[in-house]
A and B are shown apart, each in its own frame.
Chain A
Amino acid sequence: MQTIAKFETNNPRARAPRLAGWLLLAPMLTWLLLFVIAPMAILFVYSFCRRDDLGRVVHEFTWENYARAFDPIYLNILGRSIGYAAITTLICIAAGFPAAWFIARQPPVMRNRLVMLVMIPFWTSFLIRTYAWITILKEQGLMNGLLHAAGLTAAPVEFLYTPAAVIIGLVYAYLPFMILPIYGSAEKLDFALVEAAYDLGAGPLRVFREIIIPLTRPGIAAGTLLTFVPAIGMFAITDLMGGAKVPMIGNVIQKQFGGARNAPFGAALGVIFTLMFIIAYTLAQRRRSSEQ
């Protein structure tokens, strides 16, 4: 599966930037430096510190936090978080792709409206949306009511506070972040290519697999990045819809800065988590560019 969005310029005419090129990029670089690298540096320093009894960070060097972070418990939790994120991403692709494609094939005015309508539900509060889901999925909720009325189930099915509910919640939260980038790619795809493929005797499924999917891959990759990556750290949905029974890596880190008041350990987890991502991402990029 292609999990990482491609970034290395695909422009055959890209060339090394002159001074102006760097100057133009400077605002973004400065922003990254100030608000991403600097906080990361603080985090990095913290991760080698101790905490005192009152929970304050004491600047004394220690490896302890890292030693603890590699405890199998935390690796297990990280693995689970990645697993949930991966399942969510796959379902989002499967559910979102046809919708994105369909929207992209509408007349322009309709297209823009539909795109807006994909996102608008998310302009409500996260909590209210999640509580609405709870209302739908609870034992005496809408879903069970419908199933019962349709005669499909005799007793209420336990949807809520199960892994399935967590997945529903995660898919709901991230689906638009999959649909929108795919739409962006699909919209620019020249439909003549699809027609050409039909013309050459490919059936719809084949066209889909061999023309549409490859040509919208940048969108799928971007959607995957926007879905998979934030979903790893997500825990609010797991807590609310899963009953907080299974800890996620996000919970663990959150708790270190909150209730456990162990910022150095939280920082160490944060550093490992971020570094893992950067390494995985860079390796994937390198593999991709060497493939070409």
Chain B
Amino acid sequence: MHAPDISRRPVSGIKMMRRGFGVWTALVFAFLYLPIIVLIAYSFNSSRLNILWEGFTMKWYAALAGNTPIIRALKNTLYIGALATVFSIIIGTTGAWLLYRHKYRFARAIQALVCVPMIMPEIVMGISLLIFFTVLKMELGFTTVVIAHVTFCFPFVLVAVQARLDGLDPALEEAALDLGATPLQAFRLVIVPCLWPAILSGGLMAFTLSMDELIITFFTRGPTSPTLPTVVFGMVKKGLDPMINALSTVFLVTTIAFVLFSEYLRRLASESGQSTPTPPATLLPKTASPTPASTTTPTPTPMKKHSIPVRPAAIAIAAAAVAALAATSCAPRATDKEVNVFAWSEYIPQAVIDGFTKETGIKVNYETFSSGEEMLAKVLAGGTAYDLVQPCDYIAEVMVKEDLLTPLDYDKLPNFKNILPEFLNLPYDPDQKFTIPFMISTVGIVVNTEKIKDPVRGYADVFQDKHKGRIVVVDDGRELVSWAFSTLGIDINNITPGNLAKARPMLERWMGLVKIFDSDSPKTALTNGDVDLGIVWGGEAAILWKENKKFQYVLPAEGTHSFVDVFAISNKSKNRDAAHKFLDYTLRPEISVLISRDFPYTNPNGSARKLLDTEELANPASYPPKGLYEIFRHIDGKAGEDIDALYTDLKNAIK
């Protein structure tokens, strides 16, 4: 028997490993880009709902070009991202270096603290920062958003840089000092360039995180600083618009092209240069911060062959940042020249806002929220003087009780007369002193009649064992409890431990049958065909029905409830006149109908209804047989806590 040829084995092994890693990397990239390809493909999808493929179109690109709010949000997002990245790089890199260079007392504590923003749930950080900014009397806006973003971004830079510092030749700094560089020069000219790969990746992570942050941004933003994620999130309700895919596509293609051609561009920039600056130095400022601020990045010239080209760029960006921050926080505001609206995302069509501004010259700052409680938390903290707020019924009840609203001046609202009387003097505002109903909806059952042939009349028909794994419901404990209460014949607002205990077995069985809990877009799973039944918001059902008549809306026989979204003027409003003007504008029939067309909810505006066509009026989800069902009332803290505990417990028990 021959002895194995030892000398050959490792060589082939090395090759195999190298090839294996190459293939693996290709697979990783495929994984990373797979959804991106789908995303790009769907930007050419003619279906509005962005769920099923229905044919090729370029219309979303056309729509994108004309959509100034989205472009503005994108610009804002990029600007915030670039600033947050620059500040994060500065703080993170110097921090990492100092912690490496010196033996600080409490170094361990400092380090743990740095990591806290990474672990703190976003909402906790968002709310605590909101309270903190309010205490400091800082006006919410661009500055506060940037501060918040830097806070959760810089730890990523710091950790990345630390990983690279570990094992850096300590003699490098000494060599620089020895040659006459001051510690600052040594840091800038020797250490920073050696850390570039880590700074680049840390900066990339910071930029990426900032670009996509939603919750902290929500709590720290002001009415004039919308970002792309807030806009996109708002769209989920109407169905994610392929326009966002188009936007992402344009953005991605531009950046990727830039990255791929960066070497060529770099060569163009230093045509005659004999010494080539290190690639990372030129790569980061150009690509990671594609904002107007960074277009001033000086290209490295052959003359300054020794300088690190990013430095002037960083200084320029930092200076621009400081200037921008100063400018945004000092801008004076004239009364009644603008109106701050805090409303549900996408609830008011852009055409309505534009029309109002065109007619009156009053600028509308439209800030959005996606849950009434979030809105309430932000209003309670009091960072911004909102003019108009848009709570739903039981939140309005809280706001009335908390004295957060201003009584309306009906003399300034001549179009109020259009509201149908059945929607007035409801329990949350019995004297109709503070609120005006905006839209009404119900909660009901959607049935995919192609799949479900048996008649479905109520909750009992939905929650059948044969439908296990074919049901989507809204992810809201109080909703589910109210359905069980209706089934058991208990008043939906009578939440007591005893009643909850009665409902518990029923809910336990029901929740075991559910496949998806989704409050934001339950229509997605229905359209995709992943489920056949849903108990969803009326608005969602209306959109489904509009898309395909196979989705029938059924109001549960056991009973259902309505929810009413209202408009009200905040007690902190400084532009009350403008706020009234805007309210009255939305009450005009020809304006109100525009809102109806965009959002097929129940319009309380009788005159506007007359302008709707028969199909719109026939939509059972928009205009159910009865105008108004029972509505949710505000429940006390104990009851809320009980529902929450029950719901969490039951969910936790789902197998």
Contact = CB atoms under 8 A, between A and B. Distances in A.
**Chains A and B share a contact (CB less than 8 Å):** yes
Contacts of A99: 21, 24-25, 28-29
> Which of A17, A205, A282 has most B Cβ within 10 Å?
A17
A208 B13 CA distance: 12
A24 interface: yes
Given A21-B104, A126-B212, A119 B204 contact: yes
> Which of B103, B107, B119 has most A Cβ within 10 Å?
B119
A225 B524 CA distance: 34
Nearest to B233: A127
A149 interface: no
B5 to A, nearest CB: 14
Nearest to A80: B652
Contact of A14 (B103, B125, B244, B373): B103
Contacts of B354: none
A161 interface: yes
A233 B152 CA distance: 14
Contact of A131 (B16, B131, B259, B524): B524
B160 A73 contact: no
Nearest to B28: A99
B362 interface: no
Contact of B35 (A25, A132, A204): A132
A185 B205 CA distance: 16
A201 B9 CA distance: 10
Nearest to B117: A36
A115 B201 contact: yes
Given A32-B114, A42-B131, A219-B163, A253 B123 contact: yes
A232 interface: yes
A131 B127 CA distance: 28
A125 B232 contact: yes
A181 B158 CA distance: 11
Interface string B154-170: 10100110111111101
Nearest to B12: A204
Contacts of A249: 121
Interface stretch (B374-382, B502-510, B556-564, B572-580): B374-382
Interface string B21-63: 1101100110111111011001000000011000000000000
A290 interface: no
Nearest to A236: B214
A55 interface: yes
A115 B204 contact: yes
Contacts of A8: 107-108, 111
Contacts of B117: 35-36
Contacts of B204: 115-116, 119, 180
Contact of B116 (A34, A126, A225, A278): A278
Interface stretch (B321-329, B425-433, B514-522): B514-522
B159 A222 contact: yes
Given A115-B204, A131-B240, A230-B119, A259 B476 contact: yes
Contacts of A179: 28
A236 to B, nearest CB: 8
Interface in B213-269: 214, 228-229, 232-233, 236, 240, 244-245, 248, 251-252, 255-256, 259-260, 262-263
B417 interface: no
A83 interface: no
A53 interface: yes
B123 A121 contact: no
Contacts of A40: 116, 120, 128
Given A15-B103, A17-B104, A136-B34, A54 B402 contact: yes
B351 interface: no
A67 interface: no
Given A39-B128, A124-B248, A132-B38, A184 B256 contact: no
Contacts of A5: 159, 162-163
Contacts of B22: 102
Contact of B98 (A25, A134, A160, A175): A25
B348 interface: no
A121 B35 contact: yes
Nearest to B643: A260
A292 B528 CA distance: 56
Contact of A246 (B478, B644, B651): B651
> Which of B25, B201, B202, B530 has most A Cβ within 10 Å?
B201
A37 B147 contact: no
Nearest to A223: B163
A281 interface: yes
A84 interface: no
> Which of A16, A52, A112 has most B Cβ within 10 Å?
A112
Contacts of B478: 259
Contact of A274 (B38, B120, B151, B154): B120
A76 B644 CA distance: 16
A13 to B, nearest CB: 5
5 contacts: A9-B99, A32-B110, A125-B212, A204-B14, A278-B116
Interface of A: 5-17, 21-22, 24-25, 27-29, 31-32, 34-40, 42-43, 51-56, 73, 76-77, 95-96, 98-99, 101-103, 105, 108-109, 111-113, 115-129, 131-136, 138-142, 160-161, 172, 175-177, 179-181, 183-185, 187-188, 198, 201-205, 208, 215, 218-219, 221-223, 225-226, 229-230, 232-233, 239-240, 243-247, 249-250, 252-263, 265-267, 270, 273-274, 277-278, 281-282, 285-286
